[in-house]
Structure 1
Amino acid sequence: MRRTLLLSLLGIAVSGSAMAATSQTEFLAQYGLAGKNTQQIVDAIDQNPQARPLPFSASITSSELKLSDGKQAFAFPLADKFYLSVAPYEHQTHPCFNHSLSGCQGEMPNTTFDVKVTDLKGNVVLQKSVKSYQNGFVGLWLPRDMQGTLDVSYQGKTASSPISTNSDSQTCLTTVKL
């Protein structure tokens, strides 16, 4: 009897896991994110051309992507990369610590910036021209556990900001005033 009860409970737990997986799969499919890994999901949401807020919640911490539609919530680990979303600005900004991919709106959408990330040893980690998304942000995938400087240039204006990609670091940088 004890074994039957244990097997029944195990069956319920397994079917509950299958239901959760199906719900996650359905959620991702509903928003055009099915078949993507975590990095691809983050990029797709942040680069989504729809006006903010989106019809679901998406935020990113230093360790995971969090998605929710108000009824169900899902978390996806970021593994060995760190996502820093940067919104350079000239006139107005907003306070932010963890980036809301579905809600944050920066001042300068569809604008090309020159971006350079340098670690504390002076090594260039990233250097390229990037175009901000419809939400006014530029998403940067960086190595974990580094500290350094972010330099942004736009039409002769420049700004620098210290950055870090530690487990307690911010993922939304809105203080880069050009």
Structure 2
Amino acid sequence: MHRFSALLAVSALALAGCTATPSPTVTAPDEVGLLAAADLTGRDVAGIIDHLDVLPANVRPEDLSAIVYSDQLVLSTPDEEISMDLPEDVAYISVAPFVTHTHDCTYHSLTTCVGEMRNARIEVTITEDDTGAVLVDETTTTFDNGFIGYWLPRDISGIITITQGEFTGSAPFSTGADAITCITDLRLQSPALQRL
């Protein structure tokens, strides 16, 4: 069983695009101990995700991996791993807009992912495909990690559009089963470049 748990932990970390090197040893989960060690006691899964994603990069927990999947949050240290189910009605999508540099990412790592546009003022519009409903329309600032995260209804798809000055870009999203939670291909370009 321990061997399977270790293999599962290594496989999960390999799929998350922004992760540190995984530890091959995982013991029986101690949720209370792990949450206490990471100063996350008393937070529900949404609170943990929101807290970790906005942390300044220089104070992120160095020995904690926190990866958001479409249906769960997996927290792990070199010694143990726990998973927490996400709410049934919403999913978390994290977006790192970029102009020049990006990285591949499938599942958002709350403790290791870093995007190009850190602490950048941007305009965000998120529109659902089926109904055309505008789910988000705001001016905001990316987190210190260069991402901006949103809780969106489950089982929908749509378009995320981000603008900064004359630069704009869009990317599709989905919140269905097994959907990615880390969008790093939303490139901001000037209108002249978009026409090329």
TM range (shorter): 0.7 to 0.9
Question: Are the equivalent residues in 1 in contact too, given 2:63–2:78 (CA < 8 A)?
Answer: no
1:12 aligned residue: none
In structure 2, the partner of 1:136 is 146
> Which amino acid in 1 is paired with 2:93?
L
SS in 2 for 1:32: coil
User: 1:130 offset after TM fit, Å?
Assistant: 2.0
Residue 160 of structure 1 aligns with which residue?
170
Correspondence for 2:55: 48
Name the residue aligned to 2:104: 95
Contact in 2 for aligned 1:109/1:134 (Cα 8 Å):
yes
In the other structure, the counterpart of 1:74 is: 82
Identity %: 37
Distance 2:34 2:161 in 1: 37
Rg larger for? 1
What residue in structure 2 maps to residue 64 of structure 1? 72
Q: Is the contact made by 1:108 and 1:136 (CA closer than 8 Å) also made in structure 2?
A: yes
Runs of 4 or more consecutive aligned structure 1 residues displaced over 6 Å after TM superposition: none
- Structure 1 Cα separation of the partners of residues 109 and 78 of structure 2: 15
**CA displacement at 1:155 relative to structure 2:** 1.6
Q: CA deviation at 1:135?
A: 0.8
Give the TM-score, by structure 2 length.
0.77
Offset of residue 53 of structure 1: 7.6
Task: Find the counterpart in structure 2 of residue 172 from structure 1.
Answer: 182
Report the 3-state secondary structure (helix = DSSP H, G, I; strand = E; otherwise coil) of the residue aligned with 1:122.
coil
Q: Deviations over 1:86-125 (max 9, x none)?
A: 0000100000011111111100111121111111121111
Q: How much does 1:134 deviate?
A: 1.2
1:15-30 counterparts in 2 under 5 A? 23-30=30-37
Query: Partner of 2:20 in structure 1?
Result: none
The 3-state SS of whatever aligns with 2:125 is strand
TM-score, length-normalised on structure 1? 0.84
User: How many aligned positions are there?
Assistant: 158
**Which residue matches 2:137?**
127
- Distance in 2 (alpha carbons) for counterparts of 1:130 and 1:144: 23
SS in 1 for 2:57: coil
Correspondence for 1:118 among 127, 131, 149: 127
Match of 1:38 in 2: 45
User: Offset of 1:66 from its aligned partner?
Assistant: 0.4
Structure 2 distance, partners of 1:35, 1:129, is 30
